[in-house]
Structure 1
Amino acid sequence: MAEDKKRTGGVLVIGLGRFGGAIANTLDRLGHEVLAVEKNPDLVQFWSGRVPVIEADLTNPDAVSQVGAREFGVAVVGVGTSLEASVLITGNLVDIGVPQIWAKAISNEHARILQRIGAHHVVLPEADAGNRVAHLVSGKLLDYIEVEDGFTIVKMRPPRETQGFTIGQSQIRKRYGVTVIGVKPPGEDFVYATEETRISANDLLIVSGHSDLLERFAARP
């Protein structure tokens, strides 16, 4: 019973490059239990005092046991530049049964290997960032988050034809196949949208739907 409690909390972050460092720092700042593990002594020294960190090489199964990796509910493998190290560390975490393993990949091939050996979530940060920026620079979107299978949430300015009308009057979902889920008037908080919510020219919209439909909606003058 005590072990079950341990396994539900705490995040083990392995590798303190830009990706792992940002995750460890943010989780620590948000008040989560975090332990960072890094084999480079210079990085250990840099992060010491900022986040809980120890020096160890988790490609070694003995080191995995020594840092108590089994007690963490989540592990993040932020090692990306060395495919061999990434795979070995992820495999070691799978072997001891860490409930949730997030792993960074630097290519689609790398991602497939991590998935095959048992990583629960694989992240391609550079590819994801490139995809997001491509959508932002090519249109009128202010922010873009693809959730899964094309379902996307965006932040955007309202097309001119919707300005001054309620969402119900504009029939946005019927005409464009997307859903306005939130509206932020200037200087005010975001509010959940209803059919009676009136859209003004200076509002920000949070809109969900398939990426292709959202691009078309955002491209309206």
Structure 2
Amino acid sequence: MPHTKKESDKRILVIGLGRFGSSMALELVNHGWEVLGMDSSPRLVQMFADALTHTVIADATDDEALRQIGAAQFTHAVVAIGSHLEESILATSQLVDLGVPDIWAKAVSRRHGRILEQVGAHHVVLPEHDMGERVAHLVSGRMLDYVELEEGFSLGKTKAPKELIGRPLAETRVRQKYGITVVSVKHRGAAFTYASRETVLSKGDVIVVAGRTEDVERFAEAD
């Protein structure tokens, strides 16, 4: 897959074709990306050979193997190795040494994630931890969906509470009372649209709010 690095380059190297790596690789293909899937397991590589743009059996901790597949020419790479911490860290380090400018790495714990950041990963994801945290918010409260954008700041999807119904948002003083901003609204039978100061909510409307995590949680409990 010879090419030059470009910011808009839609070619990506995915190292590790387990559940997380393969799911992400397949989704990227569906979105028009060219994906080179790499794994040391012949079984996994064979399994996804027809679904991905290219696949290769190789050891991601071997710098020579990475050079041979042209890893240094990729703008984007994902290290989806999770259970083998040493391999995950070594593969990430190798990509950093090769100068790959946008490296995503999967971590299985916060400690693992900190190490990946220290060796040079640009983005660290903790899928199991993040999903567990998200589900905990959904189970324990009234939110319909929840996303933490960064530590301490979140988006929450919830039904419009009674106190916001029937008046323009500007008159509800929701930001002053709860410290959150209503960013979008879905009226019954309609698609989501941006909320404005003039937006009037009705019973059954679903809204998306943004703010500090504790404020979003507190707002979601409002009647």
Alignment TM-score, normalising by the size of structure 2: 0.94
Equivalent runs, 1:27-42 vs 2, <5 Å: 27-42=28-43
C-alpha separation in 2, matches of 1:71 and 1:12: 10
Unaligned regions of 5+ residues in structure 2, if any?
A: none
Partner SS, residue 88 of structure 2: helix
Select the residue among 120, 123, 128 that pairs with 1:121.
123
Residue 187 (structure 1) aligned with residue 184 (structure 2): no
Q: Which residue of 1 aligns with 2:134?
A: 132
Alignment TM-score, normalising by the size of structure 1: 0.95
Residue 211 (structure 1) aligned with residue 213 (structure 2): yes
Equivalent runs, 1:52-63 vs 2, <5 Å: 52=53, 53-63=55-65
Equivalent runs, 1:45-194 vs 2, <5 Å: 45-52=46-53, 53-194=55-196
Unaligned regions of 5+ residues in structure 1, if any?
A: none
Summarize deviations over 1:93-120 as a string: whole Å, max 9, x none. 0111100111111112211211111111
Summarize deviations over 1:127-180 as a string: whole Å, max 9, x none. 111111111111010111111131111111011111222211211112211100
Aligned residues: 220
**Aligned CA distance change for structure 1 residues 195 and 6 (closer, same or farther; 3 Å):** closer
Q: Give, as a single letter, the amino acid of the residue that structure 1 aligns with 2:84.
A: S
Q: Which residue of 1 aligns with 2:45?
A: 44
Q: Which residue of 2 aligns with 1:197?
A: 199
Q: Matched residues, percent identical?
A: 47
**Aligned CA distance change for structure 1 residues 8 and 118 (closer, same or farther; 3 Å):** same
Does structure 1 conserve the Cα–Cα contact (< 8 Å) formed by 2:10 and 2:32?
Answer: no
C-alpha separation in 2, matches of 1:116 and 1:173: 38
RMSD over aligned Cα atoms: 1.5
